[in-house]
């Protein structure tokens, strides 16, 4: 394990020394395809008014409005089904429905399904031991340490294995890293959430079936249910990640919630046994989470009796309420890790145990349904530029707005056309840091920014590594484009705003949304004078989320032993944390490139 240990220490050192463009010690192969916006949904759910399914439109309107107005929720998409009918589907601008979204740990529940299929087939058992299922010439000490870990322990997050999520950024062979790590407690004795348990289940499925877990699920679950717009990343050694890395549309995620709502049956066909669904969705172990105290087999118990959820960080959830015959799907970009935050509080309030909708159709209520549609349109059409405000408040008069707009559309924009600026710090990229880590897709940093004026506004050309990335900017609307990040396609939506700050400095503010993801980049460009810029970077979710992840390192991740521990002890973690904050919220100065220098470099 020495190479993984050295890589882990080197990663910390690079963060501390602001070598953002050199982060990442995992072999990267571009995998993610472009989302096919023209591919129709197969086996879609029928649509219905809420009233036809026994739910009041006004009640839903209040819930959607509250979700959209809660800053901590940062909603992206919402879909609600009752009685197998979609009664609400909507985006929260600039995010849109019908586009797949990163799920993070939500997909662990799909790993559960693959394991359940093999158990139904009699090819795997809950009490099978890990060392017997993946006997790849481990050393005797590894076998001794891991000998008591079973499939059941992996499913209930009670393996005790120390090799956790941090290992995914420290080396290529995650299975070997798992076997080479310590076991922190007796397997089965306590809950210890660890995404590498899901990877090991995926490796087991691959070993038994002779195909990747993703391909196995496509054959047995996804294709029979008409789920084709789905993609799942692999580990560096080609194993479906299992615990993260899956993209799926809301409607297809709702199908997989409905599959468990219907006890493993889809359109009259039993895809998974009723017994497996029942065992998976009941309490198998108590957790250390006060608001989410019970866990099944890679599935969380919800607060409403009998309900459960597939939960992913930052607000990705499929919530299933059997007594209501209701499925609710969320995508968001908030700071929730284990369904603890503003979004979850609102949903639990509206779907509390005492909420009892009718089990028969209500009279249609055109006024309430129209209000629901108006709330939906309001949420989808929201425009969220990030602007600088004067101290003491901004005088938002029409005259002032027009004056500022005229200033930018005449003087400054004309001066900017064709101007190129070189970054003083070349370690910052467009990709949010959290996305770089999760996808092992690291930036080599932006070295130059060139402005071009257009009829609509501006085009910003960023030279990131060896790639040129163009962002179109239109003050009057959200613009959409695709960008290529090291061979992977990502959809982006950009909203913008112009203002002057308290020092009368012109500021161009951008909200750069990766609409398939939970993360956004925020950028403010300060035009200090004709020759100098200051770029203030940020991302959402930002520092809190990153620092929570760093806490794994501070408290001891368990991924290192021996000499690596001695090296880590010499790294001041408070400095590392401050540097991470500075990386997420980087301030970069840029200087105008002389025309002859620009020509020579081109």
Those residues whose C-beta lies under 8 Å from the C-beta of residue 216, and which sit 6 or more positions away, are 114, 117, 205, 206, 209
Q: For Cα atoms 420, 426, 427, give the angle at the middle one, nearest 5 degrees.
A: 145
Span 199-234, pLDDT tens digits: 999 999 999 999 999 999 999 999 999 999 999 999
The more confidently predicted of residues 162 and 280 is 280
Q: Which of 103-112, 414-423, 475-484, 579-588 has the lowest mean pLDDT?
A: 579-588
Per-residue model confidence as pLDDT tens digits over 388-421: 333 333 334 344 455 445 545 556 777 888 999 9
What percent of the chain has a predicted confidence (pLDDT) above 70? 82
Question: Rg of the Cα trace of the chain?
Answer: 25
Among candidate residues 448, 442, 474, 483, the one with its CA nearest the CA of residue 463 = 448
Instruction: Return the number of other C-beta atoms located less than 10 Å from residue 488's C-beta.
Output: 18
Q: What is the 3-state secondary structure (H, E, C) of 514-575?
A: ECCCCCEEEEEEEEEECCEEEEEEEEECCHHHHHHHHHHHHCCCCCCCCHHHHHHHCCCHHH
Gap between the Cα atoms of 407 and 451, Å rounded: 17
Query: pLDDT class for 328, splitting at 50, 70, 90?
Result: very high
* Residue 381 CA: distances (Å) to CA of 61, 477, 541: 16, 10, 22
The neighbour count for residue 454, using CB atoms within 10 Å, is 12
Mean pLDDT of 575-582: 63
The string of pLDDT tens digits covering residues 74-129 is: 999 999 999 999 999 999 999 999 999 999 999 999 999 999 999 999 999 999 99
**Rounded CA gap, 104 and 388, in Å?**
33
Say yes or no to pLDDT of 191 above 60.
yes
Per-chain mean pLDDT for the chain: 87
Q: So what's the pLDDT on residue 597? A: 62
> What integer pLDDT is reported at residue 434 of this predicted model?
83
Task: Determine the Cα–Cα distance for residues 273 and 260; give it in Å rounded to an integer.
Answer: 10
**What CATH number was assigned to the domain covering residues 100-250+268-277?**
3.40.710.10
CA-CA distance, 448 to 428, in Å (whole number)?
11
pLDDT of residue 582: 67
CA separation for the pair 202, 212 (Å, rounded): 8
Please, is 467 exposed, middle or buried when counting C-beta atoms within 10 Å of its C-beta (0-12, 13-18, 19+)?
Answer: middle
pLDDT at residue 575 is higher than 90: no
**For the chain, which residues make up each domain, given as ranges?**
52-99+302-382, 100-250+268-277, 398-601
What's residue 91's pLDDT? 97
The pLDDT value recorded for residue 501 is 87
Using the predicted structure, report yes or no on whether residue 364 has a pLDDT greater than 70.
Answer: yes
């Amino acid at each position: 394990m020495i190479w993984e240990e050295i890589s882990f220490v080197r990663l910390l050192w690079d963060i501390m020394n602001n070598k953002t463009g050199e982060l990442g010690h995992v072999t990267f192969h571009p995998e993610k395809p472009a989302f096919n916006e023209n591919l129709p949904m197969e086996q879609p759910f029928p649509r219905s008014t809420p009233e036809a399914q026994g739910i009041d439109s006004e009640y839903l309107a209040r819930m959607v409005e509250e979700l959209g107005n809660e800053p901590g929720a940062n909603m992206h998409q919402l879909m609600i089904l009752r009685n197998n009918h979609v009664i609400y589907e909507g985006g929260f601008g600039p995010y849109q429905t019908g586009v797949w979204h990163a799920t993070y740990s939500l997909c662990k529940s799909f790993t559960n399904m693959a394991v359940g299929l093999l158990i139904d087939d009699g090819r795997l058992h809950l009490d099978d031991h890990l060392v017997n299922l993946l006997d790849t010439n481990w050393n005797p000490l590894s076998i001794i340490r891991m000998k008591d870990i079973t499939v059941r322990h992996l499913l209930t997050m009670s393996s005790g294995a120390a090799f956790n999520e941090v290992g995914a950024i420290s080396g290529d062979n995650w299975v070997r890293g798992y076997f080479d790590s310590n076991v922190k407690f007796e397997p089965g004795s306590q809950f210890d959430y660890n995404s590498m348990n899901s990877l090991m289940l995926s490796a087991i499925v691959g070993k038994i079936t002779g195909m990747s877990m993703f391909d196995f699920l496509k054959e047995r679950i996804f294709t029979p249910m008409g789920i084709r717009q789905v993609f799942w990343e692999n580990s560096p050694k080609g194993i479906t990640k299992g615990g993260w890395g899956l993209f799926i549309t809301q409607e297809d995620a709702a199908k997989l919630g409905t599959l468990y709502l219907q006890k493993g049956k889809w359109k009259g066909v039993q895809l998974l046994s009723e017994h497996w669904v029942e065992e998976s969705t009941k309490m198998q172990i108590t957790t250390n989470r006060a608001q989410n105290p019970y866990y099944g087999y890679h599935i969380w118990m919800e607060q409403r009796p009998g309900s459960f959820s597939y939960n992913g960080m930052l607000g990705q959830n499929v919530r299933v309420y059997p007594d209501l015959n209701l499925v609710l799907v969320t995508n968001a970009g908030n700071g929730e890790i284990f369904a603890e935050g503003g979004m979850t509080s609102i949903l639990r309030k509206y779907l509390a145990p005492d909420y009892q909708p009718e089990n028969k159709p209500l009279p249609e209520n055109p006024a309430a349904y129209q209000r629901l549609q108006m709330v939906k349109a309001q949420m989808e059409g929201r425009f969220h530029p990030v602007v600088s405000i004067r101290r003491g408040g901004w005088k938002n008069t029409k005259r002032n707005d027009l004056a500022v707009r005229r200033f930018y559309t005449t003087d400054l924009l004309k001066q900017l056309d064709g101007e190129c600026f070189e970054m003083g710090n070349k370690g910052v990229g467009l990709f949010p840091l959290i996305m770089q880590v999760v996808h092992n897709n690291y930036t080599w940093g932006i070295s130059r920014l060139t402005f071009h004026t257009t009829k609509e506004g501006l085009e910003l050309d960023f030279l990131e590594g060896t790639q040129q990335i163009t962002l179109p900017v239109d003050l009057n609307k959200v613009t959409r484009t695709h960008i290529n990040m090291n061979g992977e396609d990502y959809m982006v939506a950009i909203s913008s705003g112009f203002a002057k700050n308290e020092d009368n400095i012109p500021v161009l503010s951008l909200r750069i949304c990766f609409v398939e993801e939970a993360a956004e980049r925020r950028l403010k460009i300060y035009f200090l004078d004709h020759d100098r810029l200051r770029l203030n970077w940020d991302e959402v979710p930002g520092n809190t989320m990153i620092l929570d992840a760093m806490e794994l390192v501070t408290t001891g991740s368990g991924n290192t032993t021996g000499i690596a521990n001695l090296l880590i002890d010499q790294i001041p973690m408070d400095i590392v944390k401050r540097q991470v904050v500075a990386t997420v919220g980087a301030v970069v100065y840029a200087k105008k490139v002389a025309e002859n220098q620009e020509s020579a470099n081109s």
